[in-house]
Chain A
């Protein structure tokens, strides 16, 4: 298959799923089946691109030119390829999980839900294959708008409020800061194409470099860098499949993916390192890592705790960019995959517990481990991967980040990473411990709980296995990503 055709197809298939969801809103099995088909087909198309292209960067194909120099254009490069595989692959898993969750939980309006879900995947594909910052920005905004109805899905006052926070921070930062940064870049460079080695070198110098970087770093609100992180906990009112895919994989990863793209292809790592413009960002990311981990410790609501954990983990990737070394970039890029696999497991487990017991707070979950062993073991594996212990995928990304910090001589950053790991242990493992080793809290009427429906527990079990497999495949991913840090 022709690559440009395949790229279009990878976006058209989710778009078609939007239509089929709306058309067949009355027949759930047909509707969900077609969406599953679209998800699998999208994954196959993406794999097909991988088979054809590997980790080379393909020629840009221009869909249309909006203004001179501003093109709607796509291409394939290793980072985007990795993101596309990740998102399309996990879409299948979450879709299956979503069917189980939405039906098991008797949520309303499945058709609108899955339509918006597919629409979000459509935009993620656009982000992954965007060949320039303009195209990326376009799909970035569509992603925000398409996920808004998902966050507001329950229609309760809390959901509407959460969705409002979600939207106002994401749109506010992207229009208020990122758009300015993009137009600024266009004004000085005359292009927005993602180019190895960056497009800004020699065109801008001194403090403006740091200011431009700040406009990007804060403007990419989806990367949830403090102080623009509030939307992530607010979005946790959404049904769990949304939290799992969108707020552990698609939306937040779109954010850090954009951050990586900006660092590598707009500024260029060497340019960042030479100007030292990213040093402040490194410290801010470090602050974000520690602070949100500490906040996570204080949250009793499981999803809120995971949300703060996500904020912390996203800053790892921003940190990787800010280190401005090849190892940092590599670690950050690897962490996109590793964290996605780990966090989606944790979210799906949280949803599984909710479906089976309708409990949301960690303090109520004591003793549940024996009733739902698979869910809790999957949670344990996901946690260990997030913490970064071998033999789980998460250990590699942390390893590279620490090497990156060592390369720049930032010993304090190494300290931050180690402390963060300890904090991860402190906020993630107690749930597993309480679940397995403590007796259920005495209730007036003790209830017997059992494992959630198969469609709900199987996906997290699957991704938990994925965390283990990733440990052994990290070398392949690393080799695959090497071109992005090679000299231009």
Chain B
């Protein structure tokens, strides 16, 4: 990767925002290791992520109306050079990733102190930044192979981050190993798929790929390439039935890691899927290969129901939330399968809304773990009284997960049902609402545990520290705020959906 920037005379710093988005956390990560001071690790990480957040806000404000920013790395023009391309769809995802990172880091401090031994904390923050860099890179790049490179950066750091949960529970090691195997298979499939596409087209730039693929949809090579890519990304997203790595990974990773991953990693993977199936391939190709009817609908519905049902019967809150994530991915997939503007809007907005909702809930779990040492329901009984602020925020997250009106989760569900009705798919609309009733069941089990069950044992449990409560409540208020104020979310989702549905024409220069 050539990552140095060439200074043209007329270029100002704002023209370099796309590369700064990546380079700042990317440099900060090794910097933390070189400095090697535990006390400095967190401030550097926080500075890098908040700067990245500001940059992503600036980028989003530039493209939310439908504009596109193309940035050529090293001044090499695509398709030969690597291009970063920012449009409404990925600017929105960048906004989510950096925003979550900036909120999670302050929260992570106390949680990391409790869950990870001091000497390794420096490396932890470096890896956290590296993981974020990888996710941002996957999102911003317009080069298909570059996607793979950044995907590996984020995955490799993720494996280590998950394994660092082993100081609390040794099972984190097997969970990380399991994910390592699955993730590597996914990455391999992805890169094999890219190889096929490269074979057929001789290019790796996405816009260029789209252009050259358009005549070759009948080609076996192209179809095989598509299949490999779909499975590869499917593993990363944890599309049912490729989800088996996820529950353990989320359950045993340190709380801060789970929060960050649940809110961002799968969401970025969904974005990659969108990019590949709509921008590199065309909606027409999807229809032609019956991908939607045979793969997306059945697996989306299976995910919604089996994962939700499994979630109801979990004894560990963290694991319950992990299964709920798998179910929610089903919703996102369904929005894609509907192949309409409203459907895609539902997917994109749900990506964001579910991201903040899950971040909130996992942060709440982290606070419980800090104070009680466990995330099992049996140890959470009666915490509504002893940790009222944490629990109230968790309730807000819970109702947003159900999709109660007035929360962010409601809007995504509204759009999804509307998309199904617009298509006249009545059974589908019914199934969507039916599965959200399953969410009522698992969320209510949590609320009853927190508020109505008698406290377990005589221990005196304190409310979580302010450094956790503040991020928790920022997310809780965000869950409500984005339930009413939708200019950013809906605006970005609409622009993005229109661009994606326009297919490669949305990618053209």
* Residue of B404, B434, B436, B490 ringed by the most chain A CB atoms within 10 A: B404
Residues of A within 8 A of B436 (CB): 175
Taking A145-B399, A152-B452, A160-B448 as contacts, is the C-beta distance between A176 and B437 under 8 angstroms?
Answer: yes
Q: Is the Cβ of A171 less than 8 Å from the Cβ of B437?
A: yes
Taking A142-B406, A179-B433 as contacts, is the C-beta distance between A64 and B440 under 8 angstroms?
Answer: no
Contact of A179 among B417, B422, B485 (CB under 8 A): B417
Q: Hey, what's the 0/1 contact readout for B391-422 against A, CB within 8 Å counting as 1?
A: 00000000100111110000100100110011
CB distance from A373 to the nearest CB of B (A): 40
Q: Is A172 an interface residue (CB 8 A)?
A: yes
Residues of B within 8 A of A180 (CB): 417, 421, 429-430, 433
Q: Is the Cβ of A64 less than 8 Å from the Cβ of B437?
A: no
Q: Is the Cβ of A145 less than 8 Å from the Cβ of B404?
A: yes
Q: Is the Cβ of B484 less than 8 Å from the Cβ of A176?
A: no
CB distance from B411 to the nearest CB of A (A): 7
Q: Is A155 an interface residue (CB 8 A)?
A: yes
Q: Is the Cβ of B418 less than 8 Å from the Cβ of A141?
A: no
Q: Is the Cβ of A164 less than 8 Å from the Cβ of B418?
A: no
Q: Is the Cβ of A64 less than 8 Å from the Cβ of B444?
A: no
A interface residues, tally (CB under 8 Å): 29
Q: How far is the CA of A180 from the CA of B430 in the complex (A)?
A: 8
Q: Is the Cβ of A184 less than 8 Å from the Cβ of B484?
A: no
Residues of A within 8 A of B452 (CB): 152, 155, 160
Q: Is the Cβ of B411 less than 8 Å from the Cβ of A67?
A: yes
B interface residues, tally (CB under 8 Å): 29
Q: Is A368 an interface residue (CB 8 A)?
A: no
Residues of B within 8 A of A149 (CB): 451
- Please name the residue on chain A nearest to B418 by beta carbon: A183
Q: How far is the CA of A339 from the CA of B133 in the complex (A)?
A: 64
Q: Is the Cβ of A72 less than 8 Å from the Cβ of B484?
A: yes
Q: Is B462 an interface residue (CB 8 A)?
A: no
- Please name the residue on chain A nearest to B454 by beta carbon: A155
CB distance from A106 to the nearest CB of B (A): 19
Q: How far is the CA of A134 from the CA of B486 in the complex (A)?
A: 15
Q: Is the Cβ of A168 less than 8 Å from the Cβ of B440?
A: yes
Q: Is the Cβ of B444 less than 8 Å from the Cβ of A167?
A: yes
Q: How far is the CA of A66 from the CA of B484 in the complex (A)?
A: 5
CB distance from A171 to the nearest CB of B (A): 5
Q: Is the Cβ of A175 less than 8 Å from the Cβ of B437?
A: yes
Residues of A within 8 A of B433 (CB): 175-177, 179-180
- Please name the residue on chain B nearest to A72 by beta carbon: B484
Residues of A within 8 A of B404 (CB): 141, 145
Residues of B within 8 A of A176 (CB): 430, 433-434, 437
Q: Is the Cβ of A67 less than 8 Å from the Cβ of B490?
A: yes
Contact of A172 among B418, B440, B451, B486 (CB under 8 A): B440
Q: How far is the CA of A168 from the CA of B448 in the complex (A)?
A: 13
Q: Is the Cβ of A141 less than 8 Å from the Cβ of B405?
A: yes
CB distance from B80 to the nearest CB of A (A): 43
* Residue of B399, B406, B422 ringed by the most chain A CB atoms within 10 A: B406
Taking A142-B406, A145-B399, A180-B433 as contacts, is the C-beta distance between A64 and B484 under 8 angstroms?
Answer: yes
For window 155-177 of chain A, which residues contact chain B by CB distance below 8 Å? 155, 160, 164, 167-168, 171-172, 175-177
Q: Is A138 an interface residue (CB 8 A)?
A: yes
For window 483-501 of chain B, which residues contact chain A by CB distance below 8 Å? 483-486, 490
Q: Is A122 an interface residue (CB 8 A)?
A: no
Q: Is A186 an interface residue (CB 8 A)?
A: yes
CB distance from B423 to the nearest CB of A (A): 10
Taking A183-B418, A183-B421 as contacts, is the C-beta distance between A137 and B405 under 8 angstroms?
Answer: yes
Residues of B within 8 A of A186 (CB): 418
Q: Is the Cβ of B418 less than 8 Å from the Cβ of A187?
A: yes
Q: Is the Cβ of B448 less than 8 Å from the Cβ of A172?
A: no
- Please name the residue on chain A nearest to B490 by beta carbon: A67
Residues of A within 8 A of B484 (CB): 64, 66, 72
Q: How far is the CA of A149 from the CA of B73 in the complex (A)?
A: 58
Q: How far is the CA of A152 from the CA of B399 in the complex (A)?
A: 18
Residues of B within 8 A of A177 (CB): 433
CB distance from A157 to the nearest CB of B (A): 10
Q: Is the Cβ of B406 less than 8 Å from the Cβ of A175?
A: no
Contact of B414 among A64, A142, A172, A183 (CB under 8 A): A183
Q: Is the Cβ of A184 less than 8 Å from the Cβ of B421?
A: yes
Residues of B within 8 A of A70 (CB): 414
Q: How far is the CA of A142 from the CA of B441 in the complex (A)?
A: 17
Q: How far is the CA of A138 from the CA of B399 in the complex (A)?
A: 13
Q: How far is the CA of A152 from the CA of B485 in the complex (A)?
A: 33
Q: How far is the CA of A176 from the CA of B411 in the complex (A)?
A: 16
* Residue of B411, B444, B452, B490 ringed by the most chain A CB atoms within 10 A: B452
Residues of B within 8 A of A141 (CB): 404-406
Q: Is the Cβ of B399 less than 8 Å from the Cβ of A66?
A: no
Q: Is the Cβ of B444 less than 8 Å from the Cβ of A164?
A: yes
- Please name the residue on chain A nearest to B406 by beta carbon: A138
CB distance from A140 to the nearest CB of B (A): 8
Taking A145-B399, A145-B404, A180-B430 as contacts, is the C-beta distance between A187 and B437 under 8 angstroms?
Answer: no
For window 162-210 of chain A, which residues contact chain B by CB distance below 8 Å? 164, 167-168, 171-172, 175-177, 179-180, 183-184, 186-187
Residues of A within 8 A of B444 (CB): 164, 167
Q: Is the Cβ of A175 less than 8 Å from the Cβ of B430?
A: no
Q: Is the Cβ of B411 less than 8 Å from the Cβ of A175?
A: no
- Please name the residue on chain A nearest to B485 by beta carbon: A64
- Please name the residue on chain B nearest to A187 by beta carbon: B421
CB distance from B2 to the nearest CB of A (A): 43
Q: How far is the CA of A380 from the CA of B109 in the complex (A)?
A: 66
CB distance from A136 to the nearest CB of B (A): 10
Q: How far is the CA of A60 from the CA of B399 in the complex (A)?
A: 29
Contact of A138 among B405, B421, B485 (CB under 8 A): B405
CB distance from A164 to the nearest CB of B (A): 7
Q: How far is the CA of A168 from the CA of B441 in the complex (A)?
A: 8
Q: How far is the CA of A168 from the CA of B414 in the complex (A)?
A: 20
For window 433-455 of chain B, which residues contact chain A by CB distance below 8 Å? 433-434, 436-437, 440-441, 444, 448, 451-452
Residues of B within 8 A of A175 (CB): 402-403, 433, 436-437, 440
CB distance from B303 to the nearest CB of A (A): 19
- Please name the residue on chain B nearest to A179 by beta carbon: B433
Q: How far is the CA of A183 from the CA of B484 in the complex (A)?
A: 17
- Please name the residue on chain B nearest to A167 by beta carbon: B444
For window 46-79 of chain A, which residues contact chain B by CB distance below 8 Å? 64, 66-67, 70, 72
Q: Hey, what's the 0/1 contact readout for B176-194 against A, CB within 8 Å counting as 1?
A: 0000000000000000000
Q: How far is the CA of A201 from the CA of B404 in the complex (A)?
A: 30
Q: Is the Cβ of B486 less than 8 Å from the Cβ of A66?
A: yes
Q: How far is the CA of A134 from the CA of B483 in the complex (A)?
A: 13
CB distance from B357 to the nearest CB of A (A): 16
CB distance from A191 to the nearest CB of B (A): 14
Q: How far is the CA of A187 from the CA of B422 in the complex (A)?
A: 7
Residues of B within 8 A of A145 (CB): 399, 404
Q: Is the Cβ of B417 less than 8 Å from the Cβ of A171?
A: no
Residues of A within 8 A of B437 (CB): 171-172, 175-176
CB distance from B296 to the nearest CB of A (A): 22
Residues of B within 8 A of A184 (CB): 421
Q: How far is the CA of A137 from the CA of B417 in the complex (A)?
A: 16
Residues of A within 8 A of B (CB): 64, 66-67, 70, 72, 134, 137-138, 141-142, 145, 149, 152, 155, 160, 164, 167-168, 171-172, 175-177, 179-180, 183-184, 186-187
Smallest CB-CB A-B distances: 9 pairs: A138-B405, A187-B421, A183-B417, A176-B433, A141-B405, A183-B418, A141-B404, A171-B440, A160-B452
A-B contacts besides A67-B414, A134-B405, A175-B402, 20 pairs, CB < 8 Å: A66-B411, A67-B486, A137-B405, A145-B399, A152-B452, A167-B440, A168-B440, A171-B402, A171-B440, A172-B440, A175-B436, A176-B430, A176-B434, A180-B430, A183-B418, A183-B421, A186-B418, A187-B418, A187-B421, A187-B422
What are 8 contact pairs spanning A and B, CB under 8 A?
A67-B414, A67-B486, A138-B406, A164-B448, A176-B434, A180-B421, A186-B418, A187-B421
